[in-house]
Structure 1
């Protein structure tokens, strides 16, 4: 098989019918932002068809034919498709092309249902991988030799990166950008994209920030917003009732009915979520992390951890972080807490979140000096 060496660094994007808009344009925005900051980065788009119907009357054109010769891509990106188009058997040309040419790429990235195409092409055998949480069973069927994981937003195993998709494609591409170009470029891209909170790969797809939010009770959402923004404070049931504008008795009944857990368990889960992120993003001790998230000391953190997690906090930190802290991340750690405490703005419930510019978390962030 002839090998045609592409200029480095180069990215190839496999274009297929019915691709999920954010699966495609989310990672591409990261690449195009990096492209403006790194002039050698080139991006090529190719697929079985020169044009694609995309969103309603919108179509994509100018797509190159599938390359006949394998190329030494730095990255081969395979975005996901909507449910009606995710049966890999409907894409025989793409699957066969991936089977023959993807091994020549330095990294192959499957976003959302793109992981199914990689599985059909035999690229996931013996590897850890993931996909959208609604497609995990299908991925296990297509790749019986793979180790499918549903408790993370992306996984890197050797030259293969797989992602849960949708918004997590952005996190996955930022991870690759860090691996390929380093933290400084990634930080500049994240700043340009106004991405104040970068998620690590181990974070569950249905993370603590979203857990218990699938309801329409505005008063409970109001309380959940307040808890997310003020995790370090002491919260009594009376405090929670005032935030929700209801009686304590009604709150004790209503909160479990819509959120599936008690208010105090919900608060504890949020604190553990933030603690896990701080373990990944900072070099801090467990005692300092416990204090920052409102658990007092490391003894209380361990007690809370045993209720909802497996293993010890030290074990969770060691297996969770795919990129251990380096000097730049240690420098950035002083900015992490106010940003992570405002993490609810990353949830898809932003219309319900009423964090304003005069919120203490935002004031704390805006008062910091930018790091370049």
Structure 2
């Protein structure tokens, strides 16, 4: 993946997503990070000068280009990109790749014409200006991020972490995103239209090592059959003890916790366009009947 650096960029706009993907790489998910700019030295808004390569790495359709935001009391003050850079963004998207932005970085996607006819968002301070400059864009307010046809835009500063965790979850599943979020000590949040706390973290505010170990197993393999006996053996306790400890820590049984993860993941897939039947199969249900029943609760 490549980060496109623009002068006066905000460090957290870059560092947040970079930390997510570098943590993913360290956990074995195969990411290689490149930092590209139109000039080899890029001043940040916080007074640090960054270095970047001026030649683009070879990118395929599975790669991501992410544009951190920059200091923008008004969008047109900074962030003007050269025609060849904008063409690079258009060509990557046209070839099936994903492009993403944090904060004012949405302006770069707008310059490339990639916001036309698409839903998008940006920092609340420049939402009105983005809508005015790009009248064909459909600016969504008060959400963390928006996904529309491999164009992913996020709100200000720290929401870049939410965006990056979403992209990890979409590609590798929520277990991977939850694992990275725990490594970074952040909440795994999703779109503002959906629940903003993942079940993986909502039921982690306890001190039981046994329950945390079992939750780790369920998080990673929630789409598989996980008999209580196997979970108890992995935790080194009896089935009765596991059920008691799990209930005390989370207020539910291991099976109910697994079902919540399945439903949460299925809701995400349905929100991305999957049918209920396809989502049910993807999360481990034999058919859609159980998923419909659980969603109705």
Shorter-normalised TM range = 0.5 to 0.7
1:154 and 2:166 correspond: no
336, 343, 350: which one aligns with 2:202: 336
Aligned length: 211
- Deviation readout 1:65-117 (Å, 9 max, x if unpaired): 24397643521111111116842673234334323444335211111111111
For residue 202 of structure 1, what is the aligned residue in structure 2? 192
The alignment's TM-score, normalised by the length of structure 2, stands at 0.63
Alignment partners' CA distance in 2, 1:56 and 1:169: 17
Q: How does 1:60-75 map to 2 (within 5 A)?
A: 60-61=50-51, 63-67=52-56, 71-75=60-64
Alignment partners' CA distance in 1, 2:174 and 2:161: 15
Alignment partners' CA distance in 1, 2:58 and 2:202: 45
Q: Which runs of 5+ in 2 are unaligned?
A: 217-297
1:12 and 2:2 correspond: yes
For residue 110 of structure 1, what is the aligned residue in structure 2? 101
Identify if the C-alpha distance between structure 1 residues 70 and 56 changes in structure 2 by more than 3 Å, giving closer, same or farther: closer
3-state SS, counterpart of residue 206 of structure 2: helix
- Deviation readout 1:147-174 (Å, 9 max, x if unpaired): 1111211011111110002111100100
- Deviation readout 1:24-55 (Å, 9 max, x if unpaired): 00000001100101252211111111121226
Q: Is the 8 A contact 1:99 1:123 kept in 2?
A: yes
3-state SS, counterpart of residue 180 of structure 1: helix
1:30 and 2:15 correspond: no
For residue 365 of structure 1, what is the aligned residue in structure 2? 206
Alignment partners' CA distance in 2, 1:113 and 1:173: 16
Q: How does 1:201-220 map to 2 (within 5 A)?
A: 201-202=191-192
Q: Which runs of 5+ in 1 are unaligned?
A: 1-10, 204-275, 282-328, 340-363
- CA RMSD for the aligned pairs? 2.7
- Deviation readout 1:106-136 (Å, 9 max, x if unpaired): 2111111111110121001111110001111
Q: Is the 8 A contact 2:120 2:153 kept in 1?
A: yes
Q: Is the 8 A contact 1:19 1:80 kept in 2?
A: yes
The alignment's TM-score, normalised by the length of structure 1, stands at 0.51
3-state SS, counterpart of residue 76 of structure 1: strand
3-state SS, counterpart of residue 141 of structure 2: coil
For residue 163 of structure 2, what is the aligned residue in structure 1? 172
Alignment partners' CA distance in 2, 1:146 and 1:138: 11
1:82 and 2:71 correspond: yes
Q: How does 1:278-357 map to 2 (within 5 A)?
A: 281=198, 329=199, 332=200, 336=202
3-state SS, counterpart of residue 42 of structure 1: coil
Alignment partners' CA distance in 1, 2:45 and 2:105: 19
Alignment partners' CA distance in 2, 1:73 and 1:142: 30
Identify if the C-alpha distance between structure 1 residues 82 and 32 changes in structure 2 by more than 3 Å, giving closer, same or farther: same
